[in-house]
């Protein structure tokens, strides 16, 4: 396995001669095997261990184990303690995402402080397969299905070629000791369900089914690289830069279906014709706008309203898009503190600044009230809509007053302090017939 390890590092140019590495060492079998291989390959590295305080004595036991291993093998060891649950709560994200954000941010800080070159993590081929199925279930495209790269910036994954079975076999044969995380065997998180239930069933379909999956993931990764290069060239031909504004003419969409020499046909391109040809046209729009923070739902709504929404504005966290008569116009948001956006509500989902999604539904007998602070469910019949960034001083800090948004009525009645609470006057009641749902998206 050591020879395969070295060959993979050389083939993917992961660690050049003389480069120094920060190793993410959790104490689990994967990172312990990676540490052993790095030692035998004579790569200079330090160990970085995160104590997320999520498993009580188990987390402290992991830390003690890593410290003792590092001391035994004369490896410099750095340990960082995190209040992961607090960070997740404050940022409105999952525990898994919080741990990921915290560890990678600290790894990079440590790397820069030490002047090291790379950060090595112990993801392997089975992690790759699990990520594939997670993204597949989320409805990802080629970019999501391709999986993790052997190298992403300074992050390297020298074990991405090896299966969990190969790693365990190497650990046993080389008498490597590791810490077991009992939560890995619990099918609570989606990744664990895929690991413990889906992949074993996948293995039963045919011999070496998982090896076929690994190979497919490699093909997807290389095909995605080619797709990205061709897409970059295509968008460079289409998008016109006019000062601070990017212009995307509708004729560029229609060019996918009309011969280039048909100049008259191209000049008469209408948005209505594009909506009837959703495949390639929408993908171009999505790939262009995703770079600027627009999500799939926003892009879909923009695409479907190009013909009827001339003058409409749509926002990501950094950019504003305006639907023109013959083109889409994109510009960076300089300041939107004084901007108000008038909206109407139909059957479609409407996406506005700060990623708010609006929808209307009927209050059926089995309707369940969502009590999340990120959702407002209001009596539709009482509402007229105006979204404003008017800030009110109601026990908010100066920072909160600069950041908070309010959903208010046309009569300037505050309906919802977004992410905090709704007004009691507009709460759902026994006589409510239609429900207006406003959801704060990540």
User: What's the confidence (pLDDT) of residue 353?
Assistant: 46
Determine what percent of the chain falls in helix, strand and coil, rounding each to the nearest 5: 45, 20, 35
Cα(135)–Cα(442) distance, integer angstroms: 17
* pLDDT at residue 26 tops 90: yes
Question: Are residues 96 and 19 part of one domain?
Answer: yes
pLDDT (mean) for 151-179:
93
pLDDT computed for residue 217 by the predictor: 85
pLDDT at 115 over 70: yes
* pLDDT the model gives residue 293: 86
pLDDT-derived band of residue 346, with 50, 70 and 90 as boundaries? very low
pLDDT band, very low/low/confident/very high, at 80 (cuts 50, 70, 90): very high
pLDDT of 381 reads: 65
Within this chain, do residues 221 and 245 fall inside the same structural domain, yes or no? no
Q: Do 208 and 100 share a structural domain?
A: yes
Q: 192 and 169 in one domain?
A: yes
Shared domain check, 347 and 206: no
Greater confidence, 187 or 322?
A: 322
Q: What is the structure's pLDDT at 75?
A: 96
* Residue 52 predicted with pLDDT over 50: yes
Lookup result for tokens 């997670």:
134
Domain endpoint, select from 300, 332, 364? 332
Highest mean pLDDT of the ranges 105-119, 140-154, 345-359: 105-119
Q: Provide the pLDDT for residue 149.
A: 87
CB atoms within 10 A of CB 64: 14
pLDDT at 44: 95
Same domain, 117 and 221: yes
- Plot region of 407 (φ>0 → left; ψ -120 to 50 → alpha; else → beta): beta
**pLDDT confidence of residue 345:** 43
Q: Which of 227, 251, 273 is the last residue of a domain?
A: 227
Same domain assignment for residues 66 and 158: yes
CB 244 within 8 A of CB 332: yes
Domain assignment present for residue 218? The answer is: yes
Considering only CA atoms, which of 377, 368, 373, 374 is closest in space to residue 354?
Answer: 374
HSE-CB for 155 with a 13 A CA cutoff? 15
Q: DSSP letters along 111-172, please? A: HHHHT--EEE----HHHHHHHHHHHHHTT--HHHHT---SEETTEE-TTTTS-HHHHHHHHH
Q: Rank 107-116, 350-359, 380-389 by mean pLDDT and report only the highest.
A: 107-116
If one compares 187 and 72, the residue with the highest pLDDT of the two is 72
How far apart, in whole angstroms, are the C-alpha atoms of residue 150 and residue 124? 10
Residue 172: CATH number of its domain: 3.40.50.620
With a cut of 90, say whether residue 78 has pLDDT above it: yes
> Does residue 316 lie within any of the structural domains?
yes
Whether residues 166 and 265 share a domain: the answer is no
Mean pLDDT of all residues in 244-257: 74
Q: Is residue 429 part of a domain?
A: yes
Q: Which of 96-110, 283-297, 370-384 has the lowest mean pLDDT?
A: 370-384
Where in the sequence is the domain holding 385, given as residue range(s)?
340-440
**Within-domain flag for 233:** no
- Average pLDDT of the chain is 78
Q: Residue 123 has which token pair?
A: 């993801």
In a domain, 93, yes or no: yes
Q: Please count the structural domains in the chain.
A: 3
Relative to beta strand 77-81, strand 45-51 is parallel
pLDDT over threshold 50, residue 30: yes
The pLDDT tens digits of the residues spanning 117-132 come to 999 999 999 988 888 8
Is 232 among the domain residues? no
Range with top average pLDDT, 59-73, 186-200, 291-305, 428-442: 59-73
Rounded to the nearest 10°, the torsion over CA 366, 368, 369, 371 is 170
Of residues 275 and 181, more confidence is placed in 181
pLDDT-wise least confident of 85-94, 207-216, 375-384: 375-384
Q: What is the DSSP string of 336-394?
A: -TT-EE-----SS-EEEGGGEEEEEEE--TT------TTEEEEEGGG---EEE-----S
Does 89 map to a domain?
yes
Q: Looking at the structure, tell me whether residues 84 and 201 fall in a common domain.
A: yes
Token pair of 168 as six digits: 């365990």
pLDDT score of 114: 95
Greatest Cα pair distance in the chain = 77
Q: Evaluate if pTM is beyond 0.85.
A: no
- According to the model, what pLDDT value does residue 299 have? 84
The verdict on 255 and 285 lying in the same domain is: yes
- The residue among 281, 308, 332 that closes a domain is 332
- Max mean pLDDT among 45-54, 86-95, 131-140, 419-428 falls in 45-54
Average pLDDT rounded to a whole number, residues 226-238: 85
Residues 44 and 79 in one domain: yes
122 and 153 fall within a common domain:
yes
Q: Taking Cα atoms as reference points, which of 153, 283, 159, 280 lies closest to residue 214?
A: 159
- In this prediction, residue 3 carries a pLDDT of 94
Domain-located, residue 234: no
């Amino acid at each position: 396995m050591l020879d395969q390890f070295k060959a993979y590092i050389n083939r993917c140019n992961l660690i050049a001669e003389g480069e120094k590495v920060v190793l993410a060492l959790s104490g689990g079998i994967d990172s312990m095997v990676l540490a052993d291989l790095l030692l035998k390959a004579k790569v200079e590295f330090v160990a970085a261990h995160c104590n997320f305080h999520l498993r009580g004595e188990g987390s402290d036991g992991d830390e003690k184990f890593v410290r003792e291993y590092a001391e035994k093998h004369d490896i410099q060891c750095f340990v960082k303690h995190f209040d992961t649950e607090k960070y997740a709560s404050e940022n409105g994200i999952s525990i898994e995402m919080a741990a990921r954000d915290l560890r990678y941010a600290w790894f990079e800080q440590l790397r820069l402080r030490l002047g090291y070159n790379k950060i090595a993590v112990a993801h392997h081929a089975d992690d790759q397969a699990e990520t594939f199925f997670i993204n597949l279930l989320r409805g990802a495209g080629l970019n999501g299905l391709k999986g993790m790269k052997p190298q992403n910036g300074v992050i390297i994954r020298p074990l991405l070629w090896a299966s969990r079975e190969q790693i365990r076999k190497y650990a046993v044969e080389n008498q490597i000791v590791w810490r077991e995380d009992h939560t890995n065997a619990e099918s609570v998180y989606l990744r664990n369900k895929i690991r413990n239930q889906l992949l074993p069933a996948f293995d039963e379909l045919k011999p070496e089914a998982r090896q076929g999956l690994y190979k497919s993931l490699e093909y997807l990764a290389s095909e995605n690289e080619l797709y990205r290069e061709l897409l970059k060239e295509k968008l460079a031909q289409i998008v016109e830069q006019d000062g601070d504004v990017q212009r995307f003419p509708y004729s560029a969409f229609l060019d996918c279906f009309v011969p280039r020499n048909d100049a008259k046909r191209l000049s008469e391109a209408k948005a209505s014709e594009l909506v009837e040809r959703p495949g390639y046209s929408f993908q171009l729009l999505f790939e262009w706008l995703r770079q600027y923070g627009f999500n799939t739902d926003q892009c879909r709504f923009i695409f479907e309203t190009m013909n009827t929404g001339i003058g409409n504005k749509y926002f990501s966290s950094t950019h504003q898009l305006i639907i023109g008569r013959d083109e889409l116009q994109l510009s960076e948001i300089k300041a939107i503190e004084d901007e108000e956006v008038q909206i109407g509500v139909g059957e479609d989902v409407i996406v506005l600044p700060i990623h708010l999604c609006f929808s209307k539904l009927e209050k059926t007998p089995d309707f369940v009230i969502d009590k999340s602070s990120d959702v407002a469910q209001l009596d539709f019949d009482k509402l007229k809509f105006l979204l404003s960034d008017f800030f009110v001083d109601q026990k908010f800090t100066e920072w909160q007053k600069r950041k908070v948004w309010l959903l208010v009525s046309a009569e300037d009645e505050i309906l919802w302090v977004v992410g905090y609470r709704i007004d009691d006057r507009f709460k759902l009641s026994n006589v409510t017939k239609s429900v207006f749902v406003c959801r704060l998206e990540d």
